[in-house]
Structure 1
Amino acid sequence: MTSTLDRTTPRDLTADLPARLSLTPMTTLVGRLDGAWWPRSRDLEAELPPLAAALEEPWGRVTRVTVNPTRWPVVPHTVAVHGRTLHVGWFTEQHPDTLILLSYTVGRWDLLVIPPETAPAAAARLMAAAVIPGSLLTAGMLMADEAATGRGVRDAARREAAWEGEGGACAAPSEEPTGGSVHSLSANGRR
């Protein structure tokens, strides 16, 4: 079997860049996600070392990671992280946009994985939404919401541009329309 590894950033450059990571604040409110991670490529061997290094101080040493192979073209069995071995596993039952991190001393964390090709504005929204303490939103819900919201905004802009291009926009009237009155409405729709 031949695998093609699609890298958006070369491996040697990725290792020197810090992980793009957002973590849920430590509170008594427990949510579905413990944070979000926005890798620069789909190369786990290049992306996991900076992630594990960034998590070592706040969470302790990560010993195992699990992913869904749907989003990762190659899932290595192990990855070298600062002279030690990080074990990598995969489960098709795991949500494709989730990364599970395990540690012997601290426990388990679930991170939303934002696809590397995501636009910066969308990634920022997803990272902010994933770290709300006590949130019951799952990775799938967040990704579906972002896809629907992003598509709705693009469709609305396209419809408006078409309307404007077809002559739908007109100049603002210089006078009040005759035979009627103009009323301003408050936010709740009442005068």
Structure 2
Amino acid sequence: MLTRVSGRTDTFSANFFSVVDVHKPKVEYFDVPGRTNTDPKGFVRLVDSYRVEPWGLYMARPSDHQRFHYLESWLLPSVGLRASIFHMREDMTVGRIYIDIGEFTSGPDVWTSVDHYLDLVVLTGESTELLDVDELIAANSAGLLSAATAEDAVAKAVAAVDGIAAHGYSCEAWLESLDMPITWR
């Protein structure tokens, strides 16, 4: 079992010192009664299914992306995570869960997601990899993310990495231990 820390390239150190494209935190909207999802670029997509639970919001929708055809996500405000499965057009990644670290808030109708740069990739039963530390540092340095928010993002990521590892590298088992059972289609 292994937990790796890296950037977009193969090793943390190689990416840590590379030039990073600095951008504002990505904001996304989830309109539950309207059954739409507005991505950070403003594209509005129809949603097949929303399910609101006391611990979070489930969304399932088709995608027009060249690499994946369907997306399932859970927004989990209390742990600051969005767990997603991308159904790839050429499915080589069975058991892979992508986790965005951020701030997720529920409204009466519309939920909001603000990405705080850090991502985890969980290979169920095998490993968890932390990505985009370089983006977090660059955003903080550029004044796009406060030191307190950056520190909170790191704390959320560390808690998730520890919890997932302690549950045999199963995101689902860790979340169930927190009384947040998640399921996929």
TM-score, normalised via structure 2 length: 0.30
Structure number with higher strand proportion: 2
Structure number with higher helix proportion: 1
Larger radius of gyration: 1
